[in-house]
């Protein structure tokens, strides 16, 4: 696994110290509630963090709170981050994760944001994008856009127009939000979507952990294959890798899983069971943990598609060819409104994202604006 202590550029700021941290809790309005399987989100709720070192350099991170006490947990662990050296971030995060195994899943989610913000500090201090610190291999990466949000409000015609426009813009795999993936209504819509697109444009759908048994998942997978879908995401929880393995034996459709992994050791089980590994540095332990999954997938010949947060994902993809594409929720959909606080926009051309060359991990937040709109802000200073 890549070790930050061996990276020459990042070593330039190894003696910088974190002077204070801020946490902003944001609950942002949506055009309509987002439904992900059985989960219902009337707002998009985020926790964002800002670290400032003794040179005034800022490091940012953010993630979905998903109904958890993420902000409170993050506040407690950032008290162990302020006053520490930026260059010692691996040891800092490891000490945090070793402190309380009883609440490890939530602790990992919180530590993930601390780790990302520390990497952002290190990259900015080095004056380089994260992709360069990891060993840049390319500057353009294919994008898998997510379409179909709020279909129950917008109507089918609007979504068909959305996906045909995405295809026209050069995207060759599109992920569709269709609700209950095995329902007659979903299958009818998928058939219509398939007919609207060129044969070479691939379709993916997300089951959002909606299956409980292998036989029902097999039946749904085969009907999805008949509807022209070639990638099924998250039919089961990531811990149910044995079910994923059985489904893979019985169905031709490609399987993807991993976005909610909260301990990178789980990637080893999933790599035996999926065609595409999903990694999310905001949940699995941060940048180093995500890299462990990407590198393991590369050794196994399994492709990787990181979970949303396109700016960070593009940096990882810029360094690792195992990342076959990055997921992207277009700003026009209104379903991921944190993007309104970004300083600058991603450049997407001909179905590919241009890897951001600005120093950092790709997160460039207008913190003052975000801070004004937050429902709560907490500051932690060095003692």
List, for residues 180-194, the tens digit of each pLDDT value.
888 899 999 999 999
Structure tokens at 269: 């089980």
Residue 30 pLDDT > 90, yes or no? yes
Question: Looking at residue 34, what is its pLDDT?
Answer: 87
Domain boundaries, the chain: 4-127+367-381, 131-354
pLDDT tens per residue across span 350-371? 999 999 999 999 999 999 999 9
Mean pLDDT (the chain, rounded): 92
Helix (H) or strand (E) holding 41: strand 39-53
Percent pLDDT > 90 in the chain is 84
Q: How confident is the model at residue 2 (pLDDT cuts 50, 70, 90)?
A: very low
Q: Which residue has the tokens 């995207």?
A: 171
DSSP state for residue 88 in the 8-state scheme: G
Question: Looking at residue 380, what is its pLDDT?
Answer: 97
Q: How confident is the model at residue 199 (pLDDT cuts 50, 70, 90)?
A: very high
Residue 74 pLDDT > 80, yes or no? yes
Q: Are 145 and 377 in contact (CB under 8 A)?
A: no
Q: What are phi and psi of 223, to 5 degrees?
A: -70, -35
Residue 94 pLDDT > 90, yes or no? no
* Architecture of the domain made up of 131-354: Alpha-Beta Barrel (3.20)
Q: How far apart are CA 208 and CA 178, in angstroms?
A: 11
Q: Are 225 and 199 in contact (CB under 8 A)?
A: no
Residues 6 or more apart in contact with residue 161 via CB below 8 angstroms? none
Percent pLDDT > 70 in the chain is 95
Q: How far apart are CA 10 and CA 121, in angstroms?
A: 9
Q: Are 248 and 215 in contact (CB under 8 A)?
A: no
pLDDT tens per residue across span 260-314? 999 899 999 999 999 999 999 999 999 999 999 999 999 999 999 999 999 999 9
Residues 6 or more apart in contact with residue 188 via CB below 8 angstroms? none
Name the CATH topology of 4-127+367-381: Enolase-like; domain 1 (3.30.390)
Structure tokens at 379: 């500051």
Q: How confident is the model at residue 101 (pLDDT cuts 50, 70, 90)?
A: low
Residue 174 pLDDT > 70, yes or no? yes
Q: How far apart are CA 154 and CA 133, in angstroms?
A: 43
Average pLDDT of the segment spanning 33-52? 90
Residue 197 pLDDT > 70, yes or no? yes
Beta partners for residue 85, in sequence order: 17
Question: Looking at residue 40, what is its pLDDT?
Answer: 84
Q: How confident is the model at residue 12 (pLDDT cuts 50, 70, 90)?
A: low
3-state DSSP call for residue 19?
strand
DSSP state for residue 55 in the 8-state scheme: T
Residue 245 pLDDT > 70, yes or no? yes
Domains 4-127+367-381 and 131-354 share a fold: no
Report the candidate in 122, 166, 119, 88 with the shortest Cα–Cα distance to residue 316. 119
Residue 8 pLDDT > 80, yes or no? no
Q: How far apart are CA 282 and CA 269, in angstroms?
A: 20
Q: Find the angle CA(105)-CA(275)-CA(142) to the nearest 5 degrees.
A: 90
Question: Looking at residue 9, what is its pLDDT?
Answer: 47
Average pLDDT of the segment spanning 126-133? 96
Question: Looking at residue 6, what is its pLDDT?
Answer: 40
Residue 205 pLDDT > 60, yes or no? yes
pLDDT tens per residue across span 304-334? 999 999 999 999 999 999 999 999 999 999 9
């Amino acid at each position: 696994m890549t070790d930050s202590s061996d990276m020459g550029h990042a070593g330039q700021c190894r003696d910088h110290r974190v002077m204070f941290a801020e946490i902003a809790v944001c609950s942002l309005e949506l055009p309509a509630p987002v439904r992900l399987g059985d989960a219902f989100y009337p707002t998009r709720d985020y926790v964002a963090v800002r670290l400032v070192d003794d040179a005034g350099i800022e490091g940012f991170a953010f993630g979905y709170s998903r109904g958890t006490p993420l902000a409170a947990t993050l506040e407690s662990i950032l008290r162990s981050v302020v006053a520490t050296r930026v260059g010692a971030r691996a040891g800092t995060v490891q000490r945090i994760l070793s402190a309380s195994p009883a609440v490890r899943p939530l602790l990992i989610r919180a530590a993930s944001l601390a780790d990302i913000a520390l990497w952002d500090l290190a990259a900015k201090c080095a004056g380089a994008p994260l992709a360069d610190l990891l060993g840049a291999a390319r500057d353009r990466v294919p994008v898998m856009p997510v379409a179909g949000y709020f279909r129950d409000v917008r109507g089918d015609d609007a979504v068909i127009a959305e996906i045909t426009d995405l295809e026209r813009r050069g995207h060759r795999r599109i992920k569709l939000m269709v609700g209950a993936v095995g329902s007659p209504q979903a299958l009818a819509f998928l058939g219509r979507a398939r007919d609207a697109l060129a044969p070479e444009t691939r379709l993916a759908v997300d089951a959002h952990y909606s299956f409980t048994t292998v036989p029902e998942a097999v039946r749904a997978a085969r009907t999805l294959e008949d509807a022209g879908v070639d990638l099924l995401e998250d039919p089961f929880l990531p811990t149910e890798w044995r079910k994923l393995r059985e489904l893979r034996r019985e169905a031709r459709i490609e399987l993807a899983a991993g976005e909610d992994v909260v301990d990178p050791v789980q990637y080893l089980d999933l790599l035996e069971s999926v065609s595409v590994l999903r990694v999310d540095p905001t949940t699995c332990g941060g940048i180093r943990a995500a890299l462990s999954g990407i590198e393991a997938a590369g050794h196994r010949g399994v492709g990787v598609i990181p979970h949303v947060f396109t700016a960070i994902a593009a940096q990882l993809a810029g360094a690792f060819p195992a990342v076959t594409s990055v997921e992207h929720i277009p700003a026009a959909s209104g379903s991921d409104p944190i993007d309104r606080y970004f300083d600058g926009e991603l450049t997407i051309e001909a179905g590919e994202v241009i890897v951001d060359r600005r120093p950092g991990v790709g997160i460039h937040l207008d913190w003052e604006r975000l801070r004004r709109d937050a429902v709560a802000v907490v500051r932690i200073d060095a003692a």
